[in-house]
Copies of this chain bind each other. A is one copy, B any other.
Amino acid sequence: MSAIIPRMDLSELGEFGLIDLIHTITERLKDPEHPSWQRLLIGIGDDTAAWQSNGQTQLATTDTLVQNVHFDLKDITWEELGWKALAINLSDIAAMGGIPQYALVSLALPGALEVENICEFYDGMARLANEFGVAIVGGNIAVAPNVVITVALLGSARNEKMLRRSSATPGEQIAVTGYLGLSAACLMMLKERTSLDAETIKILRQGHFRPVPRVREGQVLVDQGIKTAIDISDGLIADLGHICEASEVSAEVRIEQVPIHPLVKANFQNYQQLALGGGEDYELLFTANKADIERVRQTIHYPITIIGNITQEGLPDRVTLLDAKGNITGYEKGGWEHFKDGAVEA
């Protein structure tokens, strides 16, 4: 195997390079004769895995929060941590238009932690679980030097239909739910100790520490015949890039149309960077024709904004940004990529 593996460390390869590599390895090593592989509909490379099971489509996803990488215990409460650890997984099920059902929770924890913190953690998680009908049914606990939380979330597809990353086609519009930028703005506020009024702080914190996964909106998308979606976790442009890569298409985004949250626009000079590249908004980004998007808009009772369109295949620059006059422009990249971005302190 080593013959094909370049000698480098993970920080050189980067998060997305590593995901591609793992995809390649597991594809090459698999035994396709096994029933599990034969019933598999979606493996590595979409928001969740999916397989056929007794006439139903099962969905499964997992996501991890690492202390001092994804959160700082100085900023986040344990109740928020419980909420967010489940929310980021729910968002993956939402991006498939699926129905979330069962969660397993793995906690790696230092022994010096207060027992009460764990109660608050489950309190926050159970609140969100109940909101979306999820049962917390198992998990694992282990001692560790720093907190690592991994949730695995199982669910099922709605009427066997799923939103994919790989089905965008040229001519479709690109749309996004809600408003962007709150989560990244909150991080910036905490880092720069920006002084803001109490109500603004509350809304920014809510956006970053207690995101609401768009589970119901994802289900409406599937019901209305939409085929393509992703949740915005890495950042609008990065996640649109994932759609372009999986669908082998390109995209144009009209920056002026991106629904930046008014509080971000009012309080942060780099609001465009926060909304386009910040990530962790957990809104849904989807593509469809105009009539379908209009039908979704009338059903959903939640903001839907068209921000651009899918263009013909094969353009070298997959996501092109256009200013108000239609000229090609750029923005300072901000999306987070594991391994490549920044060092981690133990």
Contact = CB atoms under 8 A, between A and B. Distances in A.
A104 interface: yes
Interface in A10-69: 10-13, 15, 18-19, 21-22, 25-26, 29-31, 34-37, 40, 42-44, 48-49, 51, 53-56, 58, 60-64, 66, 68-69
A345 B139 contact: no
Nearest to A141: B18
A152 B60 contact: yes
Interface in A136-187: 136-146, 148, 150, 152, 154, 156
Contacts of A6: 115
Interface string A122-147: 11001101100111111111111110
A333 interface: no
A64 B106 contact: yes
Contact of A5 (B110, B116, B144, B146): B116
Interface bracket on A:
35 or more
Nearest to A112: B9
A2 interface: yes
Nearest to A4: B119
A223 B9 CA distance: 48
A143 B339 contact: yes
A101 interface: yes
A122 B26 contact: yes
A19 B141 contact: yes
B137 A60 contact: yes
B10 A126 contact: no
A266 interface: no
Contacts of A118: 10, 18, 21-22
A258 B57 CA distance: 45
A113 interface: yes
Contacts of A122: 22, 25-26, 29
A344 B110 contact: yes
A114 interface: yes
A263 interface: no
A62 B104 contact: yes
B62 A139 contact: yes
A7 interface: yes
A54 B136 CA distance: 20
Interface in A92-110: 101-102, 104, 106, 108-110
A64 to B, nearest CB: 5
A47 to B, nearest CB: 9
Nearest to A61: B138
B53 A119 contact: no
A78 to B, nearest CB: 12
Given A26-B126, A43-B137, A62-B138, 11 more contacts: A7-B114, A9-B112, A10-B112, A12-B115, A19-B141, A29-B130, A44-B139, A60-B154, A64-B106, A66-B148, A106-B106
22 contacts: A7-B115, A9-B114, A9-B115, A18-B118, A21-B118, A22-B122, A25-B122, A29-B126, A30-B126, A34-B135, A48-B138, A53-B54, A53-B56, A53-B58, A60-B138, A60-B154, A66-B108, A66-B142, A66-B148, A146-B146, A150-B152, A154-B154
